[in-house]
Amino acid sequence: MLTFTLRRLLLAIPTLLVISLVIFLLVDLAPGSPLSQIPLTVPPDVRQKMIEALGADQPVMFRYVLWLRQFFWVEPMNLFDGWFGTHIVEGEQRILSWQSRSPVFSIIGERIPQTLIVIGTAYLVGILIALPIGIYSAYRQYSLFDQIGTLFAMIGFSVPTFFSGTLFIIIFSVWLGWLPTKYDTTLQVIDWASFLEQIKQMILPVMTLGLANAASISRYMRSSMLDNMGMDYVRTARAKGLSERVVVLKHVLRNSLIPVVTVIALGIPSIFGGAIITENLFGVNGIGAALIGAIQASDIPMVQTLAFIFAVLIVLFNLIADVLYGFLDPRIRYD
Amino acid sequence: MKLRTALLGAVAVMGLSPAAFADRGTDGEVKLTFPQAVSIMNPYLSGGTKDIYASSMVLEPLAGLTPEGTLVPKLAAEIPTLENGGVSADMTSITWKLQPGLLWSDGSAVTAADAVFTWQYCTHPEGGCSQATKYEGVASVEAVDDATIKVTFDGPKANPYTAFVSALAPIIQKAQFEACIGAAAPTCTDANNMPIGTGPFMVTGFTVNDTVSMAMNPNYRDPAKPAFATAMIKGGGDAESSARAVMETGEFDYAWNTQIPPDSQAAMAAAGKGEFVVAFGTLVERIEMNTTDPSADLPEGERATAKHPHPFLSDIKVRTALSMAIDRSILVEVGYGAGGKPTCNVIPGPEGWASDNTACLTQDLEGAKALLEEAGWTDSDGDGIRDKDGKKLHILYQTTVNPIRQDFQALIKDWWTEIGVEVELKSIDPGVFFGGDAGSPDTFQKFYADVEMYANNSEMPDPESYLSQYMCSKAPTPESQWQGENINRFCDPAYDALITELGTTTDMAKRQEIAIKLNDMVTKDSMIVVPLVHRGTLSAHSNALGGVQINAWDSELWNVADWFRVK
């Protein structure tokens, strides 16, 4: 198992390098200019000077190598300097966003907590709703509960978040006036009152995303349970006289969870990736909102860095899912 | 009796506007929301309106502009003029006096050296200052003494109020930005995000592209202002959600740029929690006519250049007919509601600068048809499309991707089809259209289409630099890497001569007269530019917020120090 993990990690290095180059070229070749949001009243010669000050007029390969150096040397060492008070890369250019001129990693650092709290909670809530629905729907296949569960899943699948989110806003904020529509990122949780505020402002985005997450996971759970319900070992367990509760929750559920856990693990990078539409809709300043804002402003350093971090996370969680699979299912061996 | 009346009057005034006499910081928090989040608080490193407006709460210029477009002193003691000797008789220099006792929010004194530094900061060749035009023509800025700033121009300047005027050119603190000049400018993240200023508020927290938190400035020059102790600007979302947060849920006090469809405007206003306010500057949505041939059959390097005149748009009768076929009031009704007015002018305001040209406001489809007949365009094969010498009247009409613009395209296509013109529509991503990339065929400068639609405006009430865009020399060409503002490639020596005359005229009445003549030359006389809608900026404020005076000539938040809570 260890050699397998090491081999996969080593293989990941060239993969990620190729990915980084492809992302860089894609982002760079995409049409658009970092100055497209600047008013037309700014004349062409001033625009040219602004482009030069950004370094956007340098050749592509030069900028790629510079980015690689900044990403793999300057930024980690900058973190190291910050922790241990050393001065290894002091004065070196960090990766700066073109739009805000702030270091990209400070922006990401500012935004990761929001994304993890809101999107992470939504994922967790989604799983907690999905598993019971999936289990019971499979156990009572074609029952009324199963039909309702299926309807719920289909709605979650097919209604886009920009629609369900807006609908929730109109119902809960405009009509009922219970919940805020804009997420206040400056809110600090210091006492029960502010904690309650935090919960209140999280309800709408978590509900919107949780519905979508729960829909897909509950379907996986249901079908995996159905696969197992008809197996011989289930009949054996029943024949032994085990209670239904033990048969379903101990024997069937454990075996059915194997593929579901993999699906859940593979979905984790998407938590870090944020949720572009939901974050924008509710003003959660997470990673997804940062990405779409950077794309609209052709902020290449920001888009490039975020896209690459997503690539790293996806490669990493694929590996974790594989390893986890080996742990959960003793039949699978990688050596 | 007189004293009694005066006292009674004073009591009545106090009773009517209690908040005007409120003490500093007694009204709690004011919450603003922008559909585009604030990226940076330094207007010299950003051209984005969102950043300029946000920074105007903190940084201040010597003078600002009122909603009427007149100058109002901010840090300056008074506006220098020819009469008071502040502007030299030959118009080559202007001398500003600072108000006495001005302090930065950190308690240090504001001096003329800060202004000199600001000029050096923005004119540094490696700084990439986005407001460089504000300091164009400035030969030197000197600190005569601690409170006197002398700006010398490299020649007579008809409009000397550019440097250090309006939210686009505020004074920054030398002590804070000294190490941030030139190439180092973008690396000073803390200074750029939390500049020390003289305005009513100071930044206490900044999250990039999200929230700016501010507190009242204890050293603000008016001890009774601002009424609010803290302020915050939350960014992100879209115009619809910003408007909703003010007009329907009441979570915010003020929302900038809430340009939403007219029916949504009406629905939200009906909720009764706030109102929309609109300011009209010079922003005009227009159709620009290409005077050169954009045909793809021409070789690159010659396509869309003055070498090949446009096959039919070079005929003024065709251009006029196209303008006559448009019903501008329907366009306003569909697209902008209260946020727009029909117009025939490139310079629609302010009063005095605008031409009285209103001829285009009534649609005349029959007249347009007759004009096309007269120009020799007839439908000889009966397919509904006019032709001449075997060539069909076919127009490629491009604009950016934007729901209102697509509505406009559809409406105008219908009208043009009705007068026998075949119209092909094209919409381009705004990032590409306005991106100015010389390698892309879809930029508005390259203009590989017959007509295109977008909006443009004059930054200042005085439109000299704006009108000079249509000079022959400013046409984008392959030689200029397709940079240039005269995108129609309009070229009229008489126009260029008038622009030169405008540059040397200092008498205001005469300047306005020339500007009106120039406006007419590109609009009603030549139909090179077909103005459609005079667009305002539509913002919303809640009924609980008082003192809002929306402004099109300066930052919309120009008088934020006077805002108060309606109780």
For B272-316, write each residue's pLDDT tens digit.
899 999 999 899 999 999 999 998 888 888 888 888 999 999 899
B453 bridge partner residues: B287
In total, the C-beta contacts within 8 angstroms joining chain A to chain B are: 174
- For B135-152, write each residue's pLDDT tens digit: 988 999 999 999 999 999
For A77, other C-beta atoms within 10 Å of its C-beta total: 16
pLDDT band for position B158 (cuts 50, 70, 90): confident
| CB-based burial, B55-70: b 16+ in 10 Å, e otherwise | bbbbbbbbbbbebebe
**Above 90 in pLDDT, residue B189?**
no
Q: Does the structure show a pLDDT above 70 at B8?
A: no
Q: What confidence score (pLDDT) does residue A334 get? A: 66
φ, ψ (nearest 5 deg) of residue A187: -65, 125
Preferred mutation among B124, B208, B483 to probe A, highest tally of A CBs within 10 A: B208
Q: Alpha carbon of A126 to those of A25, A122, A196, B82, B517: distances in Å?
A: 36, 6, 21, 71, 66
CB < 8 Å to B47, chain A:
35, 37-39, 42, 50
Q: Which residues, numbered 512 to 551 in chain B, qualify as contacts with chain A under a Cβ-Cβ cut-off of 8 Å?
A: none
The answer to whether B245 contacts chain A (CB < 8 Å) is: yes
CA distance A284 to chain B (A): 8
Indicate the burial class of A2 (C-beta count within 10 angstroms; 0-12, 13-18, 19 or more).
Answer: exposed
Q: Quick one: closest CA in B to A282, which residue?
A: B237
- What pLDDT is stored for residue A335 in this prediction? 60
Partner-chain contact B232 A289, CB within 8 Å = no
Mutate to test the interface with B, among A100, A176, A185, A188 (most CBs of B within 10 A): A100
Other CB atoms within 10 A of residue A163 CB: 12
Give tens-digit pLDDT for A7-21.
888 888 898 899 889
CATH 1.10.3720.10 fits A105-328, yes or no: yes
Question: In B366-485, which ranges are E strands?
Answer: 387-388, 391-392, 394-400, 422-428, 451-456
Question: In this complex, do A42 and B237 lie within 8 Å of one another by their Cβ atoms?
Answer: no
Tell me which residue in A44, A54, A186 faces B483 most closely, judged by beta carbons. A44
Environment class of B352 (CB within 10 Å of its CB; exposed 0-12, middle 13-18, buried 19+) = middle
- Tell me which chain B residues have a C-beta less than 8 angstroms from the C-beta of A92: none
In chain A, residues with a C-beta closer than 8 Å to the C-beta of B477 are none
Pick from B130, B205, B249: which is nearest to A173 by CB? B249
Segment 248-267 of chain B within 8 Å of chain A by CB: 248-249, 251-252
Rounded to a whole number, what is the distance in angstroms from the first to the last CA of chain B? 33
The answer to whether B407 contacts chain A (CB < 8 Å) is no
**Within chain A, which residue ranges are assigned CATH 1.10.3720.10?**
105-328
> Is B207 in contact with A285 (Cβ distance < 8 A)?
yes
Q: Do B228 and B27 contact (CB within 8 A), yes or no?
A: yes
Confidence of residue B12 (pLDDT cuts 50, 70, 90): very low
Q: Do B435 and A31 touch (CB under 8 A)?
A: yes
Q: Which residues of A touch B126 (CB under 8 A)?
A: 52-53
Contact A100 B39 (CB under 8 A): yes
With an 8 Å Cβ cutoff, are A36 and B213 in contact? no
Mean pLDDT of chain B: 89
| Chain B residues lying within 8 Å of A52, measured CB to CB | 126, 128
Tens of pLDDT along A217-276?
899 999 998 888 888 888 898 898 888 888 888 888 888 888 888 888 888 887 777 688
| Cα A86–chain centre separation | 33
Query: Distance between CA atoms of B470 and B305, rounded to whole angstroms?
Result: 15
Token pair belonging to B379: 């439908």
Among A31, A97, A110, select the one facing B429 at the smallest CB separation. Answer: A31
Partners of B186 on chain A (C-beta within 8 Å) are 53-54, 96, 101
Q: For chain B, what percent of residues have pLDDT higher than 90?
A: 57
Any residues with CB less than 8 A from the CB of A42 and at least 6 apart, and which?
Answer: A35, A50, B47, B130, B133
pLDDT at position B150: 95
